[in-house]
Structure 1
Amino acid sequence: MTALPVHRAARRLRLRGVTEADLGALALLDRETFPEEPYPYFVLRQMYDVYPDHLLVLDDGAALKGYVLVGTAPDKSRSWILGLGITRDERGRGHGRRLMLEVLDLLRGIGVREVHLTVAPTNTAAILLYETLGFTAEQSVRKDYFGPGADRRLMRLRL
């Protein structure tokens, strides 16, 4: 009798708001997603304190698999996507789009009129995602935007 391969059942990813208890896992996720420039824990902590309703995560019941973090001006005239990350094992499955669509709906609902973001000019997958969501490049690549050698493409979406 031949043994059948064992497949781990795929866990359904639940989109939800972040909780204070998630901050350690969020820091690990951010470090995996952006190993060259992760947010320090204390920055994520402060962003949670300032923007708790604009920090969404994808949770499979055992671990966080993605997040989106948005900062919104006090007058709600504009927001910035400050982070969008998906674990390596979940990339290419539409989770980034799901997070972005959810947060853009949230921002529309509170009256935000413009959403801005920056993206590495070499991150073609992210640029394509943002373009399909309606973001346009504000200008050519900004050299040294985040410091020497850290060029970024600035993009904007009018809601």
Structure 2
Amino acid sequence: MPAPSLPPGRPREVRGQDMPDLLRLDQAAFPDDPMRNSTLRQLLDMYADHLLVIEDDDGHLCAYVLATPPYKGESWIFSLGVAPAKRGKGLARTLMTKALETVRAEGASTVRLWVEPTNEPAKALYKSLGFTSDPEGARPDHFGPGAHRLGMTLKL
């Protein structure tokens, strides 16, 4: 079986001038619940060194992951977004692998995240990286009415 092709770009830290493109990407990745400009801006300001992006061949952002630095050994994946046209090309795996390497090197022993219980591709990715579903199962309305979430945890 041939090795998978490399993604069109390599992960890099976000830059301030990426903000308009990052907003566009988040809206494309999460059309039903995009982050507000002010929220995304604050997250960029707070976690720029943990907000990794990948550019496409045209220099536009096509994927991002936002992790938190470890606190008391625990880190969180806040968001992982890939432009719809770029899904299935290994970008999410590339970003998650880099984010996990970073937080592990910084001392994280546990990484947690929330995922939509019906998002089978995301759950499959996280499971393939070693995450396990929280034993209590999906939490109804965790992020608001109709916004159910399943917690997943990775022990590093």
User: What's the TM-score, normalizing by structure 2?
Assistant: 0.90
Partners of 1:39 and 1:77 in 2: CA distance: 27
Partner of residue 65 from structure 1, selected from 48, 58, 62: 62
**CA deviation digits over 1:50-101, x for unaligned, max 9?**
111100000124200100011235x352111111011111110111000000
The alignment covers a number of residue pairs equal to 148
Partner of residue 124 from structure 1, selected from 108, 120, 127: 120
Q: Which runs of 5+ in 1 are unaligned?
A: 1-10
Partners of 1:140 and 1:14 in 2: CA distance: 34
1:155 aligns with 2:122: no
Q: Which amino acid aligns with 1:104?
A: L
Which of the two has higher C-alpha Rg? 1
Q: Which amino acid aligns with 1:50?
A: M
Q: Which amino acid aligns with 2:108?
A: V
Partners of 2:10 and 2:95 in 1: CA distance: 11
Large movers: runs of 4+ above 6 Å: none
Q: How does 1:1-159 map to 2 (within 5 A)?
A: 12-60=8-56, 61-73=58-70, 75-138=71-134, 139-159=136-156
Partners of 2:97 and 2:8 in 1: CA distance: 18
Partners of 2:45 and 2:125 in 1: CA distance: 28
- Report how far residue 146 of structure 1 moved: 0.5
- Report how far residue 13 of structure 1 moved: 1.5
Q: Report sequence identity in percent.
A: 43
Is the 1:118–1:154 contact (alpha carbons within 8 Å) kept by the matching residues of 2? yes
Partners of 1:114 and 1:142 in 2: CA distance: 20
Q: Which runs of 5+ in 2 are unaligned?
A: 1-6
Partners of 1:46 and 1:89 in 2: CA distance: 27
User: What's the TM-score, normalizing by structure 1?
Assistant: 0.89
Is the 1:76–1:110 contact (alpha carbons within 8 Å) kept by the matching residues of 2? no
RMSD in angstroms over aligned alpha carbons?
Answer: 1.3
Is the 1:24–1:41 contact (alpha carbons within 8 Å) kept by the matching residues of 2? no
